[in-house]
Amino acid sequence: MRPPRGLATFALVLAAGLGLAASAHAQDMEDLAPYKMIRSLQYVQDTVVMGDHSAMEMQRFMLSTIDERLRTADPAIFADPRNVDAALVYAMSGGNPQTLELLAKNDVSGHFDQRITEAVRNYVSGRGAASTRTVAEIFPEYRNLEIAPYLALVSANSVLRKDPRQALAYFDWARLIAPGTIVEEAALRRSIYVAEQNGMVDKGVAYASRYARRFLHSPYASQFADLFVRLAVENFEKIGEETIQEILSFMDAPRQREVYLRMARLSAISGKSRLAVVAAERAQALTGDGDEGPRTLADLYSGLASISSSDVTQAIEQLSAIPDEDLSAKDRALKEAARRIAEEVLRPPELAVGVQAAEPADLTIGQDAQAPAENVSEDERMSPTAVAVEPAMQEPEPATSAPQSPEEAANGAPQQTADPAFDGFVATGRSKLDEIDKLLEGEGS
């Protein structure tokens, strides 16, 4: 339902807003048709997503006023289909779902299409999937009506888990017939989610680019930032730094910095060291001289990423220089986890005197004691919870071992040496990892 624009709409908002505030129960409200009030609500909501956050108070006022109007209205007014649509749009626009329940219950004249009413009631009650078939069957009948964009959103949300491509088709249709509205904003934001969850990287990038050009000042833009960060981190090699910068170029410096910080944090937690360093450097470049908070976070995430590099000592020094009081509780936990990991990387195994170390064949990390093992995958090596194991030092005198059997001696089989020291070292390492896992519990995007 496309709201009118210009001075006429502004006057309508004043009439439905300020005038109603002065006399909520006066004759003016009783005579105002619900569909006219819904148009005012739509205008206010569209204004909010375009960046006028001062209109949010008016939005709350309009929702409560329309709720009262619908609840006290003469049932005869719903003979006008526009008022029926208004009640449905109200419910799908953040209104009280119990009001629609009441109207459907009192509809003895059959003004409400019970199929649509039930579908919308399921949607606003969090049971959208229960109405998938119903919405899909009846949506074509309402395709050309003003309520269609809202029903398209309901349909998309109902099928997104079962048929993500069909959900994107509904979202595309909704935003294309309701441009510049809260419907388009919601459709774009949800489309990014569906694309990211289902590996549709190219589509996700296209939707993110459109959102960045159109709705960066929406109060829901923070949700977009989280979705885009997850999309970029999980698919960095395919998307590329240039595309990320292009999308973020629509933001001002503080917003870009915030997104890069979120990207650096998720990358560090996910073991994506290269992206974590790149994002942290970009955040630092966008930080002014007086903005110590963002700079501190960039240093933290950069240090986390450096734990898996060859210069662990420098990473520890960088992290130790960050004051705990400048960090949130979760970031302090990340810092502590990184410190413990780094200490485990650098700590040589403690072996008992006279006990031969285990053969390092399966644990060697090469000639350089801090180089990654060749048989360790890139993701494992970059993981912030991965602890590099150093080769055990060889004692000059082997320990006494169990005697070989005659068959083993005859065949030249190697002696099997018990190694309690090494077993103790592995047990201690696992205990440390368990502690780190607890510190990181609940971390993620």
Q: Quick one: pLDDT at residue 359? A: 43
Q: Quick one: pLDDT at residue 102? A: 94
- Rounded CA-CA distance 305/169 in Å is 39
Mean pLDDT of 25-47: 82
Q: Quick one: pLDDT at residue 363? A: 30
- Rounded CA-CA distance 390/316 in Å is 18
Judged by average pLDDT, the poorest of 1-15, 182-196, 224-238, 315-329 is 1-15
Q: Quick one: pLDDT at residue 120? A: 87
- Rounded CA-CA distance 249/208 in Å is 12
pLDDT bin (cut points 50, 70, 90) of residue 284 is confident
pLDDT above 60: residue 389: no
Q: Quick one: pLDDT at residue 182? A: 95
Judged by average pLDDT, the poorest of 117-121, 122-126, 227-231, 407-411 is 407-411
pLDDT above 80: residue 175: yes
Look-up of token digits 């833009």: 221
Look-up of token digits 């190697």: 414
Share of the chain above pLDDT 70, in %: 63
pLDDT above 50: residue 146: yes
**What count of residues does the chain have?**
445
Mean pLDDT of 271-287: 85
pLDDT bin (cut points 50, 70, 90) of residue 292 is low
The reported pTM is 0.68
Give per-residue pLDDT as tens, 60-118. Answer: 999 999 999 999 999 999 999 999 999 999 999 999 989 999 999 999 999 999 888 88
Q: Quick one: pLDDT at residue 276? A: 86
pLDDT above 50: residue 358: no
The amino acid at residue 61 is F
pLDDT above 70: residue 214: yes
Q: Quick one: pLDDT at residue 148? A: 93
The amino acid at residue 223 is Q
Judged by average pLDDT, the poorest of 28-42, 139-153, 279-293, 295-309 is 295-309
pLDDT bin (cut points 50, 70, 90) of residue 334 is confident
Q: What is the mean pLDDT of the chain?
A: 75
Q: Quick one: pLDDT at residue 323? A: 73
pLDDT bin (cut points 50, 70, 90) of residue 327 is confident
Give per-residue pLDDT as tens, 102-125. Answer: 999 999 999 999 888 888 888 887
Q: Quick one: pLDDT at residue 41? A: 95
Q: Quick one: pLDDT at residue 420? A: 55
